[in-house]
Amino acid sequence: MARLNSKAVVSAVVLAAVVLMMAGREATALSCGQVDSKLAPCVSYVTGKAPSISKECCSGVQGLNGLARSSPDRKIACRCLKSLATSIKSINMDKVSGVPGKCGVSVPFPISMSTNCNNVN
């Protein structure tokens, strides 16, 4: 009987650990604030105020790519990118869509206002 109780205790501890890990993952989900701050150095380029992409822009794009590893985070990033793009006057979406490639980053979805973020994986 004691053996059964110890198995139950071990099972409960493992379940609690899994729940805590899942809760921790949700707490570290990507936010639009993070997306905005990572991409802020790119604004001058995508609005035509700077002739080329800065190192800071590429660093931010690479950092964002590192943060958006899971499908839910990429969906959030997509939504945040679209929201950010609508808030910037004089934005050139052709330049925006080319930024990841110019920074050596492969993005698993098209950077476009017509992208359905719910379909991003």
Domain count, the chain: 1
* CATH number of 106's domain: 1.10.110.10
2 found inside a domain: no
- Residues of the domain holding 82: 30-114
58 found inside a domain: yes
Q: How confident is the model at residue 14 (pLDDT cuts 50, 70, 90)?
A: very low
- Please tell me the pTM assigned to this model: 0.74
85 found inside a domain: yes
Q: Can you spell out the DSSP letters for 55-105?
A: HHHHHHHHHHHHH--SHHHHHHHHHHHHHHHHHSTT--HHHHHHHHHHTT-
pLDDT in tens, 47-80: 999 999 999 999 999 999 999 999 999 999 999 9
3-state secondary structure of 114: coil
pLDDT in tens, 73-101: 999 999 999 999 999 999 999 999 999 99
